[in-house]
Amino acid sequence: MKVTNQILLSLFVLFIGGVSLTYVFTEDRAFSETENRVLAQMPTFTWDKFIAGKFTKEFETYLSDQFVKKDFWTGLKAVTEKVSLKKENNGIYFGKDGYLFERFPEPGKQFTANINHLNLFSDKLQGLNLYVMTAPTSIAMYPEKLPKYAYSADQLTALNTMKEQLNPSIHWIDIYKPLEDAKDEPLYYHTDHHWTTHGAFIAYEEAAKAMGLQAYTKEDFTIDQVSNKFYGTYDAKANDFTVTPDSIELYKPNFDIEYTVEFGDDTKNLDGLYAWEFLKKRDQYAMFLNGNHGKVVIHSTNKNGRKLLVVKDSYAHALIPFLANHFEEIHMIDLRYTHEKLDHYMEQQDIQDALVVYNISTFADDPNIIWLRQ
């Protein structure tokens, strides 16, 4: 027994020593493609930070972010959890048919506040049109694919509450029922929190009805698969080695139209709606409109004089390429990064229509929607 304990202790010491040596000789990473975020770097030591306990916290974050082969170890943990029949890892449920899901918590005070922010914004848009589209996430569409006893709040109840509490002057675009009717089609990615291009197309059809637009049909587009190796945000959290990647499809118009995309930062303009270089990166969904930016302006060759303001989360990125065929300009605002007075902005830009697009999970929890009150 003593020999066995000594062997185990020796192996443990060798492992810890090996990891420590690897820390010394391994260069720190600046960005994690798997988690799609900037990683903590070695904090600067000062006595003031040390005494306040700030340095210790920063150093712990640094060690966690720079842990050697972190992706391997977290992936191994995910596989172990799955094999041991646990139903989730890092807050992500292992669903049937390769689906990953994230729990939708019961909406709270932030949800109610955000509805009020929308109402106050609509009060300022006298004579202008405000449309609201709030999308369910995949967990609402496929409850039958959840593991047993997996809990998630009812998104339909939340959406109905939101619809009832919005000002009557706001045009509510109901997309829950059309999506539910088409749930056997590929509406959502298995490994990501976004809807697919096909899911966004169904939402586009409903938006067109509400806005008085003549929607294009699927036959007006050529559908091309541009990737079959997409691992999304849910996979980044669960980091399950056994997950099958998703495919990404694009709908390319069979009619003559061109687009130019301008960004409100130092990002180079796009000739077209897609940043193809992201297909070589982890965050392939960012190919739609080059990912998240504070302000984006899309110009099309459809010179009809119509302009649209879109206040949004990233669900809008797969939707906007369809709407861009109906407007001369679309101005996209992400309230996480841009805090302009949007009623004044619409007046300055001569914009008559505004569309708010969020998924229900983000809308219920996003503190940045308060900027609509300005």
pLDDT digits (tens, 9 = 90+) for 105-129: 999 999 999 999 999 999 999 889 9
Question: Over the stretch 153-166, which tens digit does the pLDDT of each residue have?
Answer: 999 999 999 999 99
Task: Check residue 41 and give its pLDDT.
Answer: 75
Domain ranges of the chain: 24-97, 105-373
Contacts of 288 (CB under 8 A, 6+ apart): 273, 274, 317, 318, 320, 321
Q: By C-alpha distance, which of 75, 76, 86, 95 is closest to 35?
A: 75
Question: Which one has a higher pLDDT value, 316 or 1?
Answer: 316
Element (H, E) at 161: helix 155-165
Spatial separation of the C-alpha atoms in residues 370 and 172, rounded to whole Å: 20
Helix axes 109-124, 155-165, angle to 10 degrees: 30
Question: Over the stretch 237-280, which tens digit does the pLDDT of each residue have?
Answer: 888 778 899 999 999 999 999 999 999 888 999 999 999 999 99
- In the structure encoding, which two tokens stand for residue 221, read together? 């587009």
Distances (CA, A) of 131 to 8, 207, 214, 331, 367: 64, 9, 17, 15, 20
pTM of the model: 0.81
Spatial separation of the C-alpha atoms in residues 192 and 182, rounded to whole Å: 19
Asked if pLDDT for residue 37 goes beyond 60, the answer is no
Spatial separation of the C-alpha atoms in residues 209 and 212, rounded to whole Å: 5
Q: What is the mean pLDDT of the chain?
A: 88
Question: Over the stretch 1-19, which tens digit does the pLDDT of each residue have?
Answer: 565 656 655 655 555 555 5
Contacts of 157 (CB under 8 A, 6+ apart): none
> Average of pLDDT values for 28-56?
68
Asked if pLDDT for residue 21 goes beyond 70, the answer is no
Q: By C-alpha distance, which of 353, 268, 263, 344 is closest to 305?
A: 353
> Average of pLDDT values for 40-66?
72
> Cα-Cα-Cα-Cα dihedral of 204, 206, 210, 216, to 10°?
50
Task: Check residue 85 and give its pLDDT.
Answer: 45
For residues 321 and 273, the answer to whether their CB atoms sit within 8 Å is yes
